[in-house]
Amino acid sequence: MGAVIGIVPTARLFDTDDPYKDQYIFVNNYGKRILENGGIPLGILSADGKVAEEALELCQGFLLCGGSKLWSYHLQVVEHAVRQGKPILGICLGMQAICAYFRIREEAERRRLAGDTLALFEAMKQEKFMFNLPVAHHWDVAINRSNIPDTKHPVNIRRGTYLYRTLGADQVLGATLHRYRVNGLPKGLTLSATTADGTIEGIEKEPNILGVQFHPEVEEDLRALFVDLLEKSCRYKGGCLAE
């Protein structure tokens, strides 16, 4: 049996008075990449932005998906994975969630605070803390099934990083679909990839945390990232059983 991978979706919550507009959005390609590489995708849902820890305990690893807004449940999943030593692959917003978590830890240390990461996240949002900054020309093409090559740009990968060893290249073409980029590299993470304009496109913390700003789920060429997630998740406490 393959590793159970928690798929952490994007959400549209509380934008209107219509309760049926509060939605979690699972994009097919994320689950598809897990299934085709031997894993078992498990959708992670929250209630008003909070995930049941029992649901997280069912997973050997996590895939944090792209999206438009960071929610408390993203940070909850990252914190669970970090504390339990479970592998994470963050894509686009998922990478930004990983960076936000480590930024919050850094800020807690600076403020000499101990305790609830999610509470500090909400406080920092109220303070208008800039976890991410706007960036131009990283989403110039409306993607469809036939124009994926038109969305790509060169991503420069640092030699010696885990991302470099995983992809086996110092440059890849990654689909770029974002209008924000992380506001610097927080303490505790390693920079693994950038673009020509200095945008951070890859972060990591060996052995279990990997994040990319580009979108490997839309193509076959970068499947090594999903294979790596599944292999590490299988090793987590003997999480995979032989057929």
Q: In this model, does residue 155 exceed pLDDT 70?
A: yes
pLDDT digits (tens, 9 = 90+) for 5-64: 999 999 888 888 888 888 889 999 999 999 999 999 999 998 877 899 999 999 999 999
Mean pLDDT, range 107-115, rounded to an integer:
86
pLDDT digits (tens, 9 = 90+) for 194-216: 999 999 999 999 999 999 999 99
Predicted pLDDT of residue 241: 53
Alpha-carbon span 132 to 44, nearest angstrom: 24
Omega prior to 207 cis, within 30 of 0: yes
Alpha-carbon span 185 to 6, nearest angstrom: 25
CA angle 77, 175, 38 (to 5 degrees): 55
CB atoms near residue 235 (< 10 Å):
16
pLDDT digits (tens, 9 = 90+) for 76-95: 999 999 999 999 999 999 99
Alpha-carbon span 151 to 160, nearest angstrom: 27
Q: In this model, does residue 162 exceed pLDDT 90?
A: yes
Predicted pLDDT of residue 104: 95
Q: In this model, does residue 144 exceed pLDDT 90?
A: no
Residue 12 is encoded by which pair of tokens?
């549209």
- Could you give the domains of the chain? 4-238 (3.40.50.880)
Predicted pLDDT of residue 151: 87
Q: In this model, does residue 183 exceed pLDDT 80?
A: yes
Q: In this model, does residue 178 exceed pLDDT 60?
A: yes
Element (H, E) at 32: helix 28-36
Q: In this model, does residue 238 exceed pLDDT 90?
A: no
Residue 82 is encoded by which pair of tokens?
């970090």
Contact 86, 3 (CB under 8 A): no
